Structure 1
């Protein structure tokens, strides 16, 4: 594995040169702290806690600095698989579920030991140090060196016994995080790695490595669970002809996305790829298919199993520590500077192919008072910043010239029947477009007669909502609904529209749903098309439930518009979920095809509303692309987008009816008692009866 430390520039090389001096200082910090801990054994208070922090985190910093020196070309060949596995587990041991309760990465432990003023920022710094692990595996040391420098600076301030040291620590950390250099380098280096063909850390792996030698898994520096090992082993033995067929179908769907969305990629020729570790056999075959059609690739992002979901949840709102109006303004400025420097890479990128993994057990988080919170004032600043940064993305990476394709496969964590589930998922992902396009058109033909759609639940599901449709000016040439099969997202199976907000009223209720997190009795009340009130029953306290929905589903917005209404038609996927009892671990990508779904936030056409799009089967133009919220872009783009799009699916079995109500008041059923009743859709019900 050739590590290209020069890729990150002169500052990275200087940081490497300075590590030796930092190492000397860190050893003194650890030694002095341990001497204090020995002398004051089992003491209480800030002084004991801060020395425990310096000892623990200092040792980890030393380990990382020493580790980066060993990561040369033969590191992964001279060590055995078991040795590399042990090394990987040790690097992430402090945040695994066994050790996390007594880790300074846990805000509860840090605050209890150090107080809120020092505990929160020092916990934040520690998790940033832990996140340097994959960086050093690709030669990026600049982050580690700057954090080590801050750590030493904090130690020296404590050693001087300055007054009000706890608050001074908080100020030091916030000033560090808010510096121009720290703000700039994060996203600049992310995109430089993601889109630049000179970043060969991962692309070399696909060209050169023997994927049967699973030691390659540890080259990423990411946490590697048994799941990654098992899926890699499984795919190595999987029939090559099936892998090749799958790879071709992904590339065909990706290219089809440009056609169905009427997009011109021009001379763009580079596909950024996102995937989960263990899927490299699929990626290698897919890359060969891309090359056949004249496309190259870069690796935008590599995902691995979450070692501890509570750890991730505890730090979800850490930017509340330092986020100010001034920080947001500086972030926007530096974000654009980074994009300008990476412009030549954006000019080649065609949009991503994403291969997800699913199967992780559902997670119901614990809310901790010691975790950092976002204030209502900060919410406003964050929303402004996100709006501005998305405008920058659209400027440099325009939607009208790029597309995407997303597909997902199970991992062994899904259970004992993993191989059967994988096989069924493969077949589901390769269902016949042409057949379902015709079936779905029958549904669209009825929907296009409507003034609004009425959706009502049954058997304890309290959903009762009316979704207002735009009026078509010329039904021979126009349609409200996109006929979506397998192109930008796989598997096939939905028809979707942008509802009008005024006239969209009612309640959406799900007794239990999984949207990354678990929601019990989720209720969203819509008024004039916006989520007007909301709640769930995850906690005993009503306010906690409201805050949980706001933080995690509404993503800190007080209200969100209904950006999409769709009817999923993939009854095969639905029955597969029922057959294996896996609905709680399926990704939204699949779940949204398994019944009607409501997307809160932006429309499906966000930032590409003016691009003319046609259904291929009848050449009708889709005209329902804007609603009363998105159309604000004509006057003030900052008010037009929420930067949220979350799909919430209602299961077939909980549907009393989905009916179209025409302008004359006629009611036409689409689904009745959980089954499709439009003429021409009979085949969709066959799997229910099998």
Structure 2
């Protein structure tokens, strides 16, 4: 029946170009959409017939270009995906809704590669329904909105349910099958995923293909062993689990294949799901899952709030109902889910978005609904996949865009990711011994940095058995190099400032956050001329639309080797937060590092229990879990060169200086300055 519906839909769409029942300027829009649908149909025929799979590289590249040509920056100014162009051509009201339709239709690209005919049929029937409304007189905007709303509501049980199933059930993993059954030494395999393939993906695959087998194995081993040690170090039982979620960027398949083999030896099968492409399942512009190149980051940013078209209380309840029903159906599979293993990339040119008044935007009421949904959805997930039973790991590697010294930088990152943990464990324990004496830590910026912040510390009841800071020695969080804690919010006051930082794929200039009793009281940056735009930018992408967030983590990064490498190659602004957070003190706004597992006892290598796992917000979970978590954790690092001093102040007023003028001065930590001395020469 689905096949019949599909054939009827594509036949109807093919007739659109010959009809004159829709007046301009809308007819041109619908012709464009019909041409896109026809292109998808032609691709589907090639895929079904095996023509595409047997094609040469040039044919595959041509297809990749055709599918994404409307999105690339040089063509975006005259694309209906661009809110400004859509508003100018179709009017602001129609432009937003038809722009949303355009963005949804683009989901047909991955759907056709995965053979999801039902999904194609749903999208094509939606296009036809909207087209029919425009035949004759212009329809009322509310009529169009109703159609889009019922599309989202009616098919929630398809898109959302399938999304959950593919996150926890390894039986049908399109990507895993592709990785395990393709010739990964032939770069043509990249075009079989249905993602945009750029020079970074091609360059990464080509470079990895030149590396010795033992190097590929070493990269996979560090990645999977970090994951395993995450369970060991927190006393979680990995034997109860059977599924691991692998998240990565295309190009690293040689390493991922070895990782899959390693995980299988641990008794774990992979789920490798694609980053969401529908507004029904996406979380703004963020990529969670596997993906290829991002054809246009401005496009992703422009459509981050497309759910405003249909988001209301009724839809939220509908979506949550689907989530719970699906989890209940797959509760055994959910219970065996071990958590994500993430391989991230870095090195792309930092992106600063252009805010557009014509783009969809959530109303205040919708923002509240969105936050409410995030809270309840997180609670549902934790009910079926308990946070105190799962773990994770994250590692990162550069892409060719990082510069002409890419291969040299890649080798350096492999070295950084495998630094001797024992050496860092000893030095970091020296820092912790000093920090454990403190009442608060005072962080003071220098060289133009305006940071002046006092971070309150947990009080120890039994210093012989307890500690405040965790000695992080590269298990889940690779590479090695930090000590961290959950600060006491009350009494944590002051200003955090950093001249330039790259967070969640976005760049911020002169980011400044003011804390009052551990909560964000004010914020600004210098990305845009208008202060309102600066505040909205931070509100949307750092605070995740929350009115405020707590300081969930304070840490001191000790990986001076990574810092020197970043300076040597001039890639400080391109380093991922995973490595950047080890290159100076960092401050995470949002949840603590122990969210959803605060009651699990955690110990440092010296046997002391880390007791600073909660703060006055997270402890509210015992009364009302919806007030305890914010579902975000964003690290902001001050580089060493912007530091004047970090000191621990004891209850008696004694000041123990840890770092001064960007150098470690505490006795027993001087070895951390050795890489810095080489840089000074």
TM-score in terms of structure 1 length: 0.94
- Partner of residue 559, structure 2: 570
Shift in Å at residue 176 of structure 1? 2.0
Q: Secondary structure at the match of 1:563?
A: strand
Partner of 2:358: 370
Q: Name structure 1 gaps, 5 residues minimum.
A: 1-13, 37-46
2:165, 2:41 → 1: CA distance? 24
Secondary structure of the residue aligned to 2:170 is coil
Residue 138 (structure 1) shift:
0.9
- Tell me the equivalent position of 1:172: 147
Matched, 1:521 2:510: yes
Give the counterpart of 2:323 among 320, 331, 335.
335
1:8 alignment counterpart? none
Contact 1:429/1:490, CA 8 A, preserved across alignment: yes
Residue 240 of structure 1 deviates from its aligned partner by 1.2
Aligned residue pairs, count: 662
Determine whether 1:401 maps to 2:374: no
**1:94 paired residue number:** 70
How far 1:211 moved relative to its partner?
1.1
- Give me the whole-angstrom Cα distance separating, in 2, the residues matched to 1:187 and 1:476: 50
1:77 is displaced (CA, Å) by 4.0
Residues 326-475 of structure 1 correspond to what in structure 2 (within 5 A)?
Answer: 326-475=314-463
User: Is the contact made by 1:481 and 1:496 (CA closer than 8 Å) also made in structure 2?
Assistant: yes
After superposition, residues 488-567 of structure 1 pair within 5 angstroms as 488-515=476-503, 516-567=505-556
SS at match of 2:353: coil
Instruction: Output aligned runs, 1:114-129, within 5 Å.
Output: 114-129=90-105
- Within the candidate set 584, 587, 598, 2:587 is matched to 598
Q: Deviations over 1:134-188 (max 9, x none)?
A: 12101112222112111111111211426x53342233222322x2x32222232
Check the 8 A contact 2:563/2:583 in 1, yes or no: yes
2:312 is the counterpart of 1:324 = yes
Is residue 238 from structure 1 mapped to residue 202 from structure 2 by the alignment? no
Distance change in 2, residues 1:206/1:518 (3 Å): closer
Q: Deviations over 1:621-675 (max 9, x none)?
A: 1111111111111111111111111000001111110100001110001111111
Q: Distance in 1 between matches of 2:91 and 2:332?
A: 47
* 1:195 Cα deviation after fit: 2.9
Q: Distance in 2 between matches of 1:309 and 1:404?
A: 27
Q: Specify whether residues 77 and 116 from structure 1 end up closer, same or farther in structure 2 by C-alpha distance, changes over 3 A only.
A: closer
SS in 2 for 1:496: strand
What SS class does the counterpart of residue 520 from structure 2 fall into? strand
Structure 1 Cα separation of the partners of residues 490 and 418 of structure 2 = 39
Query: In the alignment, which of 550, 555, 573 is matched to residue 584 of structure 1?
Result: 573
Q: Secondary structure at the match of 1:307?
A: coil
Residue 19 (structure 2) aligns with: 32
Distance (Å, rounded) in 1 between the aligned partners of 2:471 and 2:165: 36
> Does the 8 A contact of 2:47 with 2:53 survive in 1?
no
> Could you tell me which residue of structure 2 aligns to residue 131 of structure 1?
107
Shift in Å, 1:73: 7.1
For the residues of structure 2 that align with 1:631 and 1:556, how far apart are their CA atoms?
A: 22
1:530-554 CA distance string (max 9 Å, x none):
0001111111111111111111111
Equivalent residue for 1:254? 227
Equivalent-residue separation in structure 2 for 1:104 and 1:564 (angstroms): 42
Query: Within 2, Cα distance between the matches of 1:520 and 1:599?
Result: 18
Deviation (angstroms), 1:559: 0.9
CA distance in 2 between partners of 1:170 and 1:562 (Å): 40
- 8 A Cα contact 2:164 2:323, kept in partner: no
For 1:131-170, what aligned pairs fall within 5 Å after superposition?
131-161=107-137, 164-170=139-145
What is the distance in 2 between the residues matched to 1:176 and 1:593? 46
For 1:316, what is the secondary structure of its paired residue? coil
In the other structure, the counterpart of 2:257 is 284
SS of the residue aligned with 2:342?
A: strand
Correspondence for 2:32? 56
Aligned to 2:281: none
Q: Is 1:273 aligned with 2:246? A: yes
Cα distance between partner residues in 1 of 2:198 and 2:233: 39
Q: Do 1:19 and 1:65's aligned partners in 2 also have CA atoms closer than 8 Å?
A: no
Displacement of 1:404 in angstroms is 0.8
Instruction: Give the CA deviation at 1:527.
Output: 0.4
Deviations, residues 565-613 of structure 1 (Å, cap 9, x unaligned)? 0011111111111111111112111111111000001111111111111
Matched, 1:205 2:181: no
What is the SS of the residue equivalent to 1:85?
A: helix
The aligned residue for residue 18 of structure 1 is: 5
- For residues 343 and 228 of structure 1, the distance between their equivalents in structure 2, rounded to whole angstroms, comes to 36
CA contact (8 A) 1:117 1:170 kept: no
3-state secondary structure, aligned to 1:276: coil
Displacement, 1:288? Answer: 2.3
Unaligned runs of 5+ residues in structure 2 are: 274-288
Counterpart Cα distance in 2 of 1:631 and 1:428:
36
Secondary structure in 1 matching 2:80: coil
Segment drifting more, 470-479 vs 191-200 = 191-200
Question: 1:226 — aligned with what?
Answer: 199
2:2 and 2:53 map into 1 onto residues whose CA distance is 27
Supply the distance in 1 between the matched residues of 2:500 and 2:179 (Cα, whole angstroms).
41
Root-mean-square deviation over aligned CA pairs? 1.5
Secondary structure of the 2:463 match is coil
Rounded to whole Å, the distance in 2 between the matches of 1:551 and 1:297 is 33
Moved over 4 A (4+): none
C-alpha separation in 1, matches of 2:166 and 2:368: 31
CA distance in 2, matches of 1:214, 1:541: 46
| Offset of residue 461 of structure 1 | 0.6
Report the 3-state secondary structure (helix = DSSP H, G, I; strand = E; otherwise coil) of the residue aligned with 1:102: coil
